[in-house]
Amino acid sequence: MALVMTQGPSALEFENQVVEVTCTDALSKGNLVEFTLANEEYAACTKSTAALNGAGVLMGIALADVAAGAKGNIGVRGQFAATCDSEVAAGNALMASAGHAGNLDVIAAPAGGGTTTGKIVGIALGASASDTDLTQVLFDGITGFSSQSL
């Protein structure tokens, strides 16, 4: 499956793809999650960290608050409200935040002129004023929009 778009009344609209899985961690609406691979399937998710930026990681967005151990709806592709770090502006390419678990953030160049590869999973459709704001994001947590050497 891919990110599917249609012509809306005034702009492009995107079909939301959602799954229901067990959430290992307590989640707030908009948190970025990683799907957990166990026994040859993805049946659970955990709140994201910066370590999850690899190209082989599958991610999603919590669509509502979820208690630890409960099942929750997780958006995997489409347009969703996501928690983003405060410096996010409309049009920014986004990946898992290095500073705030469960957030998306702009792509930051590594210190000391080094390189790293990160999976771009979102495009900000608006700006985020604080680290807890819900910001509209075009999101693809399965294939992403690209993997970029930084």
Mean pLDDT score of the chain, rounded to an integer? Answer: 85
- Measured CA to CA, the distance from residue 19 to residue 72 in angstroms comes to 8
Confidence band, pLDDT 50/70/90 cuts, at residue 104: very high
pLDDT in the model for residue 119? 81
The pLDDT tens digits of the residues spanning 122-139 come to 999 999 888 888 999 999
User: What per-residue confidence (pLDDT) applies to 15?
Assistant: 85
User: CA 121 to CA 50: how far, in whole Å?
Assistant: 13
Nearest alpha carbon to residue 137 among 16, 9, 40: 16
Over the stretch 31-78, which tens digit does the pLDDT of each residue have? 999 999 888 988 899 998 766 566 678 999 999 999 999 999 999 999
pLDDT at 121: 92
pTM (2 d.p.): 0.86
